[in-house]
Structure 1
Amino acid sequence: MRKRLRVAAYAVCVRDGRVLLARSPVPGGTHEWVLPGGGMEHGEDPLDTVVRELEEETGYHVEVTGLLGIDSFRHAFGREGLRGPVDHHGVRVVYEGRVVGGELRNEVNGSTDLAAWHDLDAVAGLTRVRLVDVALGLWRERPVDGRAPAGER
């Protein structure tokens, strides 16, 4: 089985009781809400990644105000093209960010198609990826070891 490692950086931006999320299309015509951020390019620092990705996906310029933690997961995919099964290991660096400029806009020709602020109380009702809950858990709990609370891993 081939092994694949992907390192990515994301930011939790909360303002006035609302969190900034991006919407990602899913095969089949549906969508799910994701935390703004994405994969590191080779040689790129994770902090630079999150600043770049937030601007690409939301139009905002952000200042990183803290490191909330690291989320790590593994998933085996049955087949990836002609290369066979893949053991995927994702490592996600989660920062806290503050919007310092720019204008909210949607990404064009990217991995997301909509950026929006959502009331924190309404997040549980959204179709979302697991990382949204993990990151908000890190933001709320601020664990000293940077590991998501057990119920959210």
Structure 2
Amino acid sequence: MNQELRVAAYAVCVRDGRLLLARWVAGDGTRRWTLPGGGMEHGENPYDTVVREAEEETGYTVEPVVLLGLDSVRRHYPRPQGAQADFHGLRILYEARVTGGELRHETAGSTDRAAWHPLPAVSALPRVGLVDVGLHLWHIRPPAGNPL
């Protein structure tokens, strides 16, 4: 079984009662809303990752202001030629504020739209679980950064 580790950083941007989200496009074409962010490049600081990824996916320059916490997920799934993958994702979540730029959609990336959504409407959106994790951390602000 192949072990795969992915470390990523994400922004929870709430402004005027709205949450900034990017729409992720899965390999099968399924589209679900997610937090702006993504995988760290080798040697990259997570702070720099979230700034880079948010700009790529939304057009905004963001400033991380608080480390909200960490989330760890593990999944098993099939890989080509019958192999199995043991995937472990470590997700670093920051509260961030928009400091510049203009809202725009990513082209030729893993997302195809960016938009602000009223907080009460988020639960009705087709979304990845990370959105709920990020909002939970944003609401409870656990001292040790553990959402459980």
Same topology, TM > 0.5? yes
Q: In 1, Cα distance between the equivalents of 2:4 and 2:28?
A: 25
- Alignment match, 1:94: 93
TM (norm. structure 1) is 0.93
The alignment yields a C-alpha RMSD, in angstroms, of 1.1
- Alignment match, 1:63: 63
Trace 1:1-153 onto structure 2 (pairs within 5 A): 1-77=1-77, 79-82=78-81, 84-148=83-147, 150=148
Q: In 2, Cα distance between the equivalents of 1:126 and 1:12?
A: 16
Unaligned runs of 5+ in 1: none
Q: In 2, Cα distance between the equivalents of 1:24 and 1:5?
A: 20
Q: In 1, Cα distance between the equivalents of 2:18 and 2:44?
A: 29
Q: In 1, Cα distance between the equivalents of 2:116 and 2:26?
A: 20
Aligned pair in 2 of structure 1 residues 9, 83: CA closer, same or farther (>3 Å)? farther
How far off its partner does 1:29 sit?
Answer: 4.0
Same amino acid, percent of matched pairs: 61
Q: In 2, Cα distance between the equivalents of 1:25 and 1:60?
A: 20
CA-to-partner distance for each residue in 1:40-69, whole Å, 9 max, x for gaps?
000000000000000000000011111000
Residue identity matched to 2:9 = A
How far off its partner does 1:26 sit?
Answer: 3.1
Secondary structure of the equivalent of 2:81? coil
How many residues are matched? Answer: 148
Secondary structure of the equivalent of 2:111? coil
TM (norm. structure 2) is 0.97
Unaligned runs of 5+ in 2: none
